[in-house]
Amino acid sequence: MATLTPVRTAAPTARDQRSAPLRHLGPNWYATVMGTAIVANAGAALPGHPSWLRLPCLVVWALSAVLLAAVLAARAGHLWCHPDQACRHLLDPAVAPFYGCLSMALLAVGAGTLSVGAHWIGVRAAVAVDAGLWLAGTASGLLVAVAVPYLMVARHRIGTKSASPVLLLPVVAPMVSAATGPALVPHLPPGQWRAALLLGCYAMFGLSLLATLVMLPAVFARLVYHGPLPLALTPTLFLVLGPLGQSTTAVGNAADAVPAVGSAPYAQPLGGFAVLYGVPVMGFALLWLALAGVMVVRAARRGMPFTMTWWGFTFPVGTCVTGAASLARHTGVAVFGWLAVGLYALLVAAWGTAAVRTAGGLVSGALLAAPRR
């Protein structure tokens, strides 16, 4: 009778032991970069450009750039040392959408380089850095906007009960490109280059907006038919604000870039469209902010734990700050300016809370541990 011999597993190598903390470091860590950069970007966009905010915004932008370099290096180590785990992340419907955060992190830091960092490193260097990060962020964002929805259809199995606002992340990235690209228009050669970039931003605006409108009903239907999200996922409700605030920002920034294009036949209507589109969308954003806020309070009373989803309180709210600031510029109505200031105060409080809790989780090692199943 044959005897069964136990299967021996290879002993962990020195490299495996050194890289163990990186094994479960997923693409959601780019949210720390996005959430930090938007504090600087939104502060620079506030009406009146308060002079006392310049230095704090510069410091926060520099911190976001350091965080971007650190997370990029850590993720490169993760992909190099743990390719098996990276493949699992792509095939996990709860993790794969976060690959859109890479693009948004690059774009957010690039935009801050031009709007905030130019005062320190000079306009020419800031334009070069922003252009490089915008190209890299746009390319990766468009790739993810196709690849992750394809995986959702072909490989992932997402039930109606498991749908969450996280599904929006892959298709929001092109909207961030649409919102940050117009700042580069005046720095291009006059003529075709400027017009092509501006219209390209509008194309990405439409791409992201229509894809969001396709996915958002599934998210709301999940809430209506299956009740509130699990406590740890409740902060992801704020992700819905991202495409709303960012699209308002995008049309406003595109209208601001129109004079650099020249006398194009489509130039005149774009300023009006920024208001006609932005005002009702900002109204819906405020409705969703109130609904999401009530749900978060409910979850907090039931013991909502800290997770990386808390960074969902930062970037989406920041896009509403820039959206409200855009409406203040284009309408001249002071209430939008006050709205931007109020939302910015909420953003800073959310960022401070998430940053402190994340630092504590890193020190304790809890945030780098294997996820509980």
Query: How does 241-269 read in b/e, with b if 16+ C-beta sit within 10 Å?
Result: bbbbbbbbbbbbbbbbbbebbeeeeebee
In this structure, what token pair is assigned to residue 273? 């469209």
| Cα atoms in the Cβ-side hemisphere of radius 13 Å centred on 264 | 20
| Cα atoms in the Cβ-side hemisphere of radius 13 Å centred on 246 | 34
Q: Are the C-beta atoms of 320 and 244 separated by less than 8 Å? A: yes
With respect to residue 182, please indicate whether it lies within any of the assigned structural domains.
yes
Residue 251 CA to its chain's centroid (Å):
17
Instruction: Report angle CA 309, 314, 318 to the nearest 5 degrees.
Output: 150
Q: Cα separation of 260 and 279, whole Å?
A: 25
Q: What CATH number has the domain bearing residue 329?
A: 1.50.10.150
With respect to residue 109, please indicate whether it lies within any of the assigned structural domains.
yes
The SS3 call for residue 145 is helix
Q: Are the C-beta atoms of 347 and 42 separated by less than 8 Å? A: yes
Q: Which residue, 242, 107, 124, is CA-closest to 181?
A: 107
Domain range for 333: 23-362
Q: Are the C-beta atoms of 357 and 306 separated by less than 8 Å? A: yes
Q: Provide the domain count of the chain.
A: 1
With respect to residue 349, please indicate whether it lies within any of the assigned structural domains.
yes
User: pLDDT of the chain along its 373 residues, tens only?
Assistant: 344 344 343 445 545 545 567 777 889 999 999 999 999 999 999 998 888 999 999 999 999 999 999 999 999 998 888 888 888 888 888 899 999 999 999 999 999 999 999 989 999 999 999 999 999 999 999 999 999 999 999 988 887 788 899 999 999 999 999 999 999 999 999 989 999 999 999 999 999 999 999 999 999 999 999 999 999 999 999 999 999 999 999 999 999 999 888 766 766 788 889 999 999 999 999 999 999 999 999 999 999 999 999 999 999 999 999 999 999 999 999 999 999 999 999 999 999 999 999 999 998 888 877 666 5
Q: Cα separation of 329 and 46, whole Å?
A: 10
Q: Are the C-beta atoms of 165 and 237 separated by less than 8 Å? A: yes
Q: Cα separation of 165 and 222, whole Å?
A: 10
* Amino acid 20: pLDDT: 66
With respect to residue 172, please indicate whether it lies within any of the assigned structural domains.
yes
With respect to residue 186, please indicate whether it lies within any of the assigned structural domains.
yes
How many other C-beta atoms can be found within 10 angstroms of the C-beta atom of residue 309?
A: 24
With respect to residue 372, please indicate whether it lies within any of the assigned structural domains.
no
Residues with Cβ within 8 Å of 252's Cβ and at least 6 positions away in sequence, in order, are 274, 278, 323, 326, 327, 329, 330
With respect to residue 8, please indicate whether it lies within any of the assigned structural domains.
no
With respect to residue 260, please indicate whether it lies within any of the assigned structural domains.
yes
* Amino acid 264: pLDDT: 64
